[in-house]
A = this chain, B = another copy of it.
């Protein structure tokens, strides 16, 4: 491998030892703390003499699997657009998310459902674990919430894609999962904020955590690797696999943790329409601002998804179908313009190198989504929600809060999230700059060969089939 410097033994051992250490630690913590909940424990479930059809599994598992697909297929392949970083994009997504699922089970368990010295796990919250302030099911340790937390980590990964080693990424996840859990606890349990699809807790948090972290890791010499920063034809098609799976399953993402019944149904519907509108506005704006009227794959792959982000807070509310379209249209527009005009400024003026443009897909649309939540919550009335108000805004239904007060809490939740993300990203950046950590040199960013065995490209198909005289390509 010409040009790629050999790493020292100390650098080479960082990834395997960190994996083993983290896995050992979580396994021990699982042994001590984690138990089946009432829905997954054979004795507890049957003790209550439930009908099997009542098991939460049947109401949550299809949505969970869609979310799971988004995390591993969606995020993983969306980042494959880089011509020389496909193995790392999909591989490190795989590694980071697998670790985050375990670690966030523990962290969220300590915050939300630590009873009798144990954390109880299932696909959704332990019914006994809801806080009096906020009975929202999104606040407990569960497979769905662990996947949500992994999503936030992967958003941050998008900002620094190609510029960090896998050991650094695992350390980032170690820190970010804790702060994600803390921020979510403050918002959902202490402030009584609604944020089912995570415009704030997932998208804005993950984006600004990653952007601040990328600022701390700023590389003035990054243009040494800029020839690898683009895509090639096939890598853009792989990325579209990620885009499309994210797009189709986003209604499941936003609705996965909402209250059952009309709430879940309405959330999916609103998200579905919002996404169609962000797709149309993305195509429109991309062609408008494109050279010679041409569409840009970067916009289509990313900005078309902004409609899912922007209704993350409000989709479970009575947003109305028109509201969903308008929100999606706005998000696609802002996101596309962000890619075209703001990302270069972010790098040149603010020294934030945002590989995937997470500021455009998750940052701005996440903030917009939080503000939309402020608006829609502030407009909530008993007429509009009827007896359904109890499910969506329990504190309003109980008369403990007015709609305006709920709106103010929502706004304060956004503020808290931005604080947590910024402080967390700064801490993360300092942690990742520890000098002994293995990090790619400026000239080797966006390059798989540092961390992966890459098959010899001179063997590529393009040279024609059936060349029996050629040497072996892979051991």
User: A381 vs B322: C-alpha distance in the bound complex, in angstroms?
Assistant: 47
Q: Contacting chain B: which of A197-205, A233-241, A371-379, A428-436?
A: A233-241
* A209 proximity list for chain B (CB < 8 A): none
A447 is an interface residue with CB less than 8 A from chain B = yes
Q: Across the interface, do A265 and B57 meet the contact criterion of CB distance under 8 Å?
A: yes
- Chain B residues with Cβ below 8 Å from A114 are none
Inter-subunit contact A53/B260 (CB<8 Å)? yes
Write the nearest CB–CB distance from A332 to chain B, whole angstroms. 9
Enumerate chain B residues within 8 angstroms of A472, measured Cβ to Cβ.
226-227, 229-230
Q: Within the assembled complex, what's the spacing in Å between the Cα atoms of A471 and B228?
A: 9
* Shortest Cβ gap from A112 to chain B (Å): 16
Most buried by B among A102, A226, A294: A294
Q: Nearest-CB distance from A292 to chain B (Å)? A: 6
Of all chain B residues, the one with the shortest Cβ separation from A317 is B42
Q: A280-B19, A292-B6, A294-B453 are in contact. Are A27 and B329 (CB under 8 A)?
A: yes
Closest to A84 in B: B465
Stretch at the interface among A8-16, A127-135, A180-188, A350-358: A8-16
Contact B387 A321 (CB under 8 A): no
Q: Which of A87-95, A362-370, A407-415 contacts the other chain? A: A87-95
Interface: A7 (CB within 8 A): yes
Q: Are the CB atoms of B20 and A284 closer together than 8 Å?
A: yes
Output the least CB separation between A186 and chain B (Å).
Answer: 27
User: A389 contacts the other chain (Cβ, under 8 Å)?
Assistant: yes
Is B59 touching A277 in the complex (CB atoms < 8 A)?
Answer: no
Tell me how far the C-beta of A22 lies from the nearest C-beta in chain B, rounded to whole angstroms: 7
How far does the Cβ of A357 sit from chain B's closest Cβ, in whole Å?
Answer: 12
Q: Give chain B residues whose Cβ lies under 8 Å from the Cβ of A473.
A: 83, 227, 229-232
CA distance A134 to B91 in the complex (A): 42
CB distance from A329 to the nearest CB of B (A): 6
* Shortest beta-carbon distance from A249 to chain B in Å: 7
A residues 64-108 near B (Cβ < 8 Å) are 65-66, 68-69, 72-73, 76-77, 80, 83-84, 86-87, 90-91, 94-95, 98-99, 101-102, 105
Listed stretches A153-161, A398-406, A418-426, A456-464; interface member? A456-464
What chain B residues lie within 8 Å of A214 (beta carbons)? none
Please give, as numbers and ranges, the residues of chain B lying within 8 Å of A326 by CB-CB distance: 27
Within the assembled complex, what's the spacing in Å between the Cα atoms of A385 and B43? 5
* Residue of B whose beta carbon sits closest to that of A91: B300
Cβ contact within 8 Å between A264 and B55: yes
Given A53-B59, A387-B43 in contact, is the A237-B99 Cβ separation under 8 Å?
no
C-alpha gap A17/B53 in the complex (Å):
47
B461 touches A232 (CB 8 A): yes
Residues of B within 8 A of A388 (CB): 41-43, 45-46
> Chain A 298-330, CB within 8 Å of chain B: the 1/0 string?
101000100000000000001011100110010
On whether the beta carbons of A462 and B462 are closer than 8 Å, the reply is: yes
User: Whole-angstrom distance from the CB of A143 to the nearest CB of chain B?
Assistant: 6
Q: Which residues of B contact A220 (CB under 8 A)?
A: none
* Nearest neighbor of A87 in chain B, beta-carbon distance: B297
Q: Which of A91, A233, A244 has the most CB of B within 10 A?
A: A233
| A17-35 at interface with B (beta carbon < 8 Å) | 17, 19-20, 22-23, 26-27, 30-31, 34-35
> Looking across the interface, which residue of chain B has its beta carbon closest to that of A285?
B16
Closest to A233 in B: B461
For A386, list chain B residues within 8 Å (CB). 42-44, 46-47
Counting CB contacts under 8 A, is A116 at the interface?
Answer: no
Are A457 and B232 touching (Cβ within 8 A)?
yes
- B residues in contact with A221, CB < 8 Å: none
A23 touches B248 (CB 8 A): no
Measured between alpha carbons, how far is A467 from B322 in the docked complex, in Å?
47
Report A379 CB to chain B, min CB distance, Å.
13
The answer to the question of A216 belonging to the interface, with a C-beta cut-off of 8 Å to chain B, is no
- 7 tightest Cβ-Cβ pairs between the two chains A and B: A12-B293, A43-B386, A42-B388, A230-B474, A52-B261, A230-B473, A46-B387
Task: Offer 26 A-B interface pairs, CB within 8 angstroms, sorted by A.
Answer: A1-B465, A3-B466, A7-B292, A15-B287, A19-B283, A23-B329, A34-B321, A36-B318, A40-B262, A41-B318, A42-B263, A46-B388, A55-B265, A57-B268, A61-B265, A72-B247, A73-B248, A80-B237, A83-B459, A87-B297, A95-B283, A295-B453, A296-B452, A443-B468, A449-B465, A454-B465
